[in-house]
Amino acid sequence: MDRIVGIDYGRARVGVAVSDPLGIFASPLETVPAKDIIEFLKRYCAGNKVERFVVGYPMNLKGKPSEAAADVDVFLKWLKKQLPEVPVSLEDERFTSVLAQRAMIDGGMKKSERRVKGSVDRISAAIILQSYLDRQNRKV
């Protein structure tokens, strides 16, 4: 079955999440240095059938692209050029870092583990992807 890959892009690190084969649940997968993300995604796509990328898009409270959106726009151009066969959807990523922190606390993660910056990125990617999956599954 196909997978959907969620991406929380940042200048330094990129959180990656993946759906289950039925497209119901998102799970954190990896945190990758931003400079290595395209190669990571190429390797992942070579070993798995990927139906779509869902990329978190930074918006401000007024629903307009935030300053960080410019970095994501550059990444999106690069991604579409390097992996043109995989469609890309954008998902509003407002508050995902806050939700990721809350999920780690609620999940009983120790404070020392929560300080690992990559943890927030992976969980944020899963939240972005889960939001997309939930909306798609409501349409069915």
Cβ neighbours, 10 Å, residue 133: 21
- pLDDT, position 55: 97
Give the number of domains in the chain.
1
Element holding 37 (H helix, E strand): helix 37-47
- pLDDT one digit per residue (tens) for the chain, 140 residues: 699 999 999 999 999 999 999 999 999 999 999 999 999 999 999 999 999 999 999 887 777 877 888 999 999 999 999 999 999 999 987 655 655 556 555 566 566 665 556 667 888 899 999 999 998 887 65
- Is 43 buried (19+), middle (13-18) or exposed (0-12) by CB count in 10 A? exposed
Residue span of the structural domain in which 86 resides: 3-139
- pLDDT, position 113: 60
- DSSP class of 87: -
Rounded to two decimals, the pTM is: 0.84
- pLDDT, position 32: 97
**Residue labelled with tokens 């992996």:** 83
CATH of the domain at 81: 3.30.420.140
| 30, 122 Cβ separation under 8 angstroms | yes
- pLDDT, position 41: 98
- pLDDT, position 69: 86
